[in-house]
């Protein structure tokens, strides 16, 4: 019986996801009406967690008021650490006030956005919710000593099974989330790319003076769009044909000097400058949503983002299924119209049929295949974050499995 209810609830969640549109809610706007959460709201924006929240369905935000935020800020954490702490306060499941008081057996674990980023070691990205005596609902990190440092205060705004914003009394303490995060300068971006399907691009980059440009931008903000190996290997003959300066420009064209998470790209469509952009040589491309897909368009090519290898502000690395060809270097190809983008319906289908290659472009799952669960590559959970059941395969499925295991009733 319990299992049946869980299955029905999962089916309902799938239907709800399919019915909904991507930017259905706006967390910034929700908090704008509640000045007691202005600091929390401010940091959701600064850490770029706001678009992550807006892009997800079935989410719960555990808000803490300005006084509780001051406690966090008094320790002068870096913005990256603040992001981890706040991520632990975003549950990848829906807990309205009513459901909090109806948890099966009075206790539940929920996966959080901290878990979904892959930065959370072990089970530190889970939150324990326990309905205590006297109707008090306690919140604690999963690994707790039986005491609950925070409890439910009030419901701020609820859109059933869509977004719930509730106030809790104190920030959830977590040594893992509060730990100083490694500086971006310590990130080995070519190592990360090599290990996750972009080895050909990473090796080429390492051997080029373009690599220095990437390194210079690491601290201030950098987004890399790395072509997957099949695409880059197929492109190598053309690459070798470029002049020395052309090779550097082509490589720099795959980097953007600002941090752009997948959710940010989704909500900021438009022209984007690259590391190769230099005065008259524009070397830009256009970011455009195609259904739930994010595409990068040049005059000669339309590439799709197939996954995210790392998303740790200020650095994000996304994989793409084609090499980006700037019109400055590929004039002839730019003159023939770019291949028509896949129709909207195809973008929603799990495996869009690829006309060109027999070996279809890797699906998000394939792009992730080499990475074990808990790896930063799991960030691709965001891939179809708003698109449906598939998109929450990593973070969400953990949540659903935990939900199913605990057998709590969504109905
Ligand atoms: C979620 O909320 C948004 C706006 O508040 C609404 O447009 C959308 O239909 C809701 N989705 C569901 C599944 O209720
Ligand atoms: C959300 O609301 C804020 C404040 O009302 C507004 O500035 C922002 O542009 C909105 N964001 C989106 C994605 O609509
Ligand atoms: C939540 O924590 C309490 C107190 O440590 C514990 O008794 C309970 O089993 C935990 N719940 C889950 C689902 O792990
Ligand atoms: C980066 O990673 C690659 C591959 O794992 C490794 O060969 C290289 O030595 C690393 N570079 C640094 C600076 O650690
Ligand atoms: C290399 O450049 C030459 C001269 O522009 C051109 O004829 C040839 O097709 C190019 N080869 C490739 C693989 O693009
Ligand atoms: C809930 O409690 C019932 C009865 O004590 C037990 O049989 C069941 O296994 C519990 N469920 C979970 C998920 O702990």
Per-residue pLDDT of the chain (411 residues; tens, 9 = 90+): 444 444 334 443 433 343 334 447 899 999 999 999 999 999 999 999 999 999 888 999 999 999 999 999 999 998 889 999 999 999 999 999 999 988 888 899 999 999 987 778 888 999 999 998 877 999 999 988 889 999 999 999 999 889 999 999 999 999 999 988 777 777 899 999 999 999 999 999 999 999 999 999 988 889 999 999 999 999 999 999 999 999 999 999 999 999 999 989 998 899 999 999 987 778 999 999 988 899 999 988 899 999 999 888 889 999 999 999 999 999 877 776 555 444 443 333 333 333 333 333 333 333 333 333 333 333 333 333 332 233 333 333 333 333 333 333 333
Which of 25, 27, 28 has the most ligand 2 atoms within 8 A of CB, as the residue to mutate?
28
pTM given for the model: 0.66
Contact between residue 396 and residue 86 where contact means Cβ atoms under 8 Å apart: no
Contact 3 CB / ligand 5 (< 6 Å): no
Q: Which atom of ligand 6 is nearest to the CA of 105?
A: 1
DSSP letter for each residue of 92-155 = SS---HHHHTT-GGGEEEEEBHHHHHT-S-TTTTEEEEEE-GGG-EEEEESS--S--SEEEEEE
Where in the chain are the domains? 26-178, 184-332+375-392
Helix (H, G, I), strand (E, B) or coil at 90: strand
Same fold for the domain at 26-178 and the one at 184-332+375-392? yes
Of 3.40.50.300, 2.40.160.10, 3.10.310.30, 2.30.180.10, the CATH number of 26-178 is 2.30.180.10
Helix (H, G, I), strand (E, B) or coil at 320: strand
The b-or-e profile of 216-238 (16+ CB within 10 A means b, else e) is ebbeebbbbbbbbbbbbeebeee
Residue count (the chain): 411
Q: What is the dihedral of CA 390, 397, 307, 142, to 10 degrees?
A: 160
188 Cα: distance to centroid of ligand 4 (angstroms): 6
Contact between residue 262 and residue 305 where contact means Cβ atoms under 8 Å apart: yes
How far apart are alpha carbons 51 and 67 in whole angstroms? 24
How far apart are alpha carbons 408 and 135 in whole angstroms? 18
Of 2.160.20.10, 1.10.287.610, 3.20.20.70, 2.30.180.10, the CATH number of 184-332+375-392 is 2.30.180.10
């Amino acid at each position: 019986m319990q299992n049946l209810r869980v299955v029905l609830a999962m089916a309902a969640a799938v239907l709800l996801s399919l019915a909904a549109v991507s930017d259905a809610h706006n967390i910034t706007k929700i908090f704008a009406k509640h000045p007691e959460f202005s600091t929390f709201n401010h940091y959701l924006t600064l850490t770029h967690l706001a678009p992550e929240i807006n892009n997800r369905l079935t989410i719960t935000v555990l808000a803490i008021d300005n006084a509780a935020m001051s406690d966090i800020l008094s320790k002068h954490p870096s913005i990256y650490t603040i992001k981890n702490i706040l991520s632990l306060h975003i549950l990848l499941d829906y807990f309205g006030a009513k459901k909090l008081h109806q948890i099966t057996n009075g206790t539940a674990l929920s996966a959080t956005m901290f878990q979904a980023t892959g930065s959370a070691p072990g089970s530190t990205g889970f939150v324990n919710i326990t309905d205590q005596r006297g109707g008090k609902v306690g919140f604690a990190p999963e690994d707790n000593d039986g005491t609950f440092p925070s409890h439910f205060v009030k419901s701020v705004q609820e859109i059933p099974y869509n977004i719930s914003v509730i106030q809790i009394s104190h920030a959830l303490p977590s040594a893992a989330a509060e730990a100083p995060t490694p500086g971006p300068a310590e990130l080995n971006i070519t190592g990360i790319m090599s290990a996750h399907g972009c080895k050909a691009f990473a090796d080429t980059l390492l051997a080029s003076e373009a690599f220095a440009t990437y390194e210079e931008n690491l601290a201030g903000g950098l987004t890399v769009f790395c072509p997957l190996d099949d695409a880059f290997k197929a492109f190598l003959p053309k690459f070798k044909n470029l002049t020395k300066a052309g090779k550097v420009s082509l490589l720099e064209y795959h980097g953007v000097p600002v941090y752009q998470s997948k959710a940010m790209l989704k909500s900021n469509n438009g022209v984007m400058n690259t590391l190769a952009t230099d005065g008259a040589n524009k070397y830009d491309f256009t970011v455009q949503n195609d259904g739930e897909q994010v595409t990068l368009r040049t005059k000669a090519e339309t590439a799709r983002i197939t996954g995210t290898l790392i998303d740790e502000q200020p650095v994000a690395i996304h994989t793409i299924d084609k090499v980006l060809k700037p019109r400055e270097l590929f004039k002839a190809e730019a003159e023939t119209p770019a291949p028509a983008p896949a129709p909207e319906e195809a973008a929603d289908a799990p495996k869009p049929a690829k006309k060109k290659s027999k070996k279809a472009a890797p699906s998000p799952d394939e792009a992730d295949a080499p990475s074990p669960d808990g790896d930063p590559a799991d960030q691709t959970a965001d891939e179809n974050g708003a698109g449906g059941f598939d998109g929450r395969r990593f973070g969400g499925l953990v949540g659903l499995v935990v939900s199913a295991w605990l057998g709590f009733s969504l109905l």
